[in-house]
């Protein structure tokens, strides 16, 4: 019942919020080429491999759903363990990694469901998402509002960040991806911004700032780069899909059939080699696939 009420509220917000142009940006027309249900129960994140296969974290069902490039789906269930209520998933160096949020650990999951490795995280953090940079794992943490960097054996190298709204601070850092020059791009969710940093917190760059106008963000969720190194960001409140340069210039707003795309509670996104954008729409229990016309 509670989730149904939240879903209705988000639908109302989607209908009421208006994206007002604040400057020139390209209007890119997309067509939806696929919509996958697969009996999801609040899926949260998505990643993919070099073959074009997508992997959806369906953690309330305690599984990963693989969507093959052909569109066929199958499930990967963990053997002798669980990642119930995990949030983030990433394909790093040909391996599947899961941020097991409530249990403060990272899981390396084989495609047959075997758990290859478990990394227990220190200093009482709750990992949200992860990415790979320079052979390391870079992890966002919603409890301590920080970034943790580890090697793949699980040894922590350092962590940085704290709760706040200044540069180098976060309030609930969420989804993360690897940007150009081995920087990280992170959704700083409750600060309503998207930032770029080096893994150690240097070279800060604002990519998207807070607001309800086009080129701004209310609730940043998934972030991903296309082949032109544009940063695509979904807004969990307005349902918009927008693109920015890594230097923070507003570049594009996604349309479909002549109207601004309004996604239903989007969270994780992934862009494949064909520049098609896969989006998890959590409350709709759907994964949608969008292709530029």
Report pLDDT digits (tens) over 46-55: 999 999 999 9
- Which two tokens mark 273? 């080699």
In a domain, residue 180? The reply is: yes
CA 285, CA 212: separation in Å to the nearest integer?
25
Task: Say what the pLDDT of residue 69 is.
Answer: 82
Q: Is the pLDDT assigned to residue 190 strictly greater than 90? A: yes
Share of the chain above pLDDT 70, in %: 92
Q: Is the pLDDT assigned to residue 22 strictly greater than 90? A: no
Task: Say what the pLDDT of residue 279 is.
Answer: 98
The average pLDDT across 210-225 equals: 95
**Domain of 156, in residue numbers:** 121-210
Q: Is the pLDDT assigned to residue 16 strictly greater than 70? A: no
Total domains in the fold of the chain? 1
Task: Say what the pLDDT of residue 23 is.
Answer: 52
At 9, the pLDDT band (50, 70, 90 cuts) reads very low
CATH number assigned to the domain comprising residue 175: 2.40.10.500
CA 239, CA 132: separation in Å to the nearest integer?
27
In a domain, residue 149? The reply is: yes
Task: Say what the pLDDT of residue 98 is.
Answer: 98
pTM for this predicted structure:
0.91
In a domain, residue 163? The reply is: yes
The average pLDDT across 231-254 equals: 97
In a domain, residue 159? The reply is: yes
Mean pLDDT across the chain, nearest whole number?
A: 92
Task: Say what the pLDDT of residue 10 is.
Answer: 44
The average pLDDT across 150-172 equals: 97
The average pLDDT across 235-260 equals: 97
In a domain, residue 187? The reply is: yes
Higher-pLDDT residue of 21 and 207 is 207
- Which two tokens mark 262? 């309004």
Q: Is the pLDDT assigned to residue 36 strictly greater than 60? A: yes
The average pLDDT across 184-197 equals: 98
Task: Say what the pLDDT of residue 20 is.
Answer: 44
In a domain, residue 133? The reply is: yes
In a domain, residue 199? The reply is: yes
Residues 6+ apart with CB under 8 A from 24: none
In a domain, residue 87? The reply is: no
Share of the chain above pLDDT 90, in %: 87
């Amino acid at each position: 019942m509670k989730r149904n009420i939240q879903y209705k509220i988000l639908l109302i917000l989607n209908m009421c919020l208006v994206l007002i142009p604040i400057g020139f940006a390209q209007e890119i027309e997309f067509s939806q080429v696929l919509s996958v249900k697969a009996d999801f129960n609040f899926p949260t994140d998505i990643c993919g491999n070099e073959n074009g296969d997508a992997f959806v974290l369906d953690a309330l069902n305690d599984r990963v759903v693989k969507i093959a490039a052909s569109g066929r789906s199958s499930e990967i269930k963990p053997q002798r363990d669980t990642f119930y209520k995990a949030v983030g998933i990433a394909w790093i160096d040909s391996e599947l990694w899961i941020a097991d949020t409530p249990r403060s650990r990272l899981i390396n999951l084989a495609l047959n469901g075997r758990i290859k490795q478990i990394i227990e995280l220190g200093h009482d953090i709750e990992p949200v998402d992860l990415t790979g940079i320079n052979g390391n794992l870079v992890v966002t943490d919603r409890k301590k509002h920080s970034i943790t960097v580890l090697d793949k054996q699980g040894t922590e190298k350092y962590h940085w960040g704290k709760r706040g709204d200044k540069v180098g601070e976060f309030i609930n850092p969420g989804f993360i991806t690897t940007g150009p020059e081995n920087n990280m791009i992170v959704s700083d969710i409750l600060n309503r911004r998207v930032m770029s940093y080096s893994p150690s917190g240097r070279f800060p760059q604002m990519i998207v700032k807070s607001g309800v106008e086009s080129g701004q963000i209310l609730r940043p969720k998934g972030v991903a780069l296309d082949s032109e190194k544009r940063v695509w960001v979904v807004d969990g409140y307005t349902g918009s899909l927008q693109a920015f340069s890594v230097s923070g210039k507003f570049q594009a707003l996604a349309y479909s059939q002549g109207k601004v795309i309004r996604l239903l509670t989007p969270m994780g996104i992934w862009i494949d080699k064909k520049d098609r954008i896969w989006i998890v729409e959590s409350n709709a229990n759907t994964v949608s696939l969008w292709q530029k016309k």
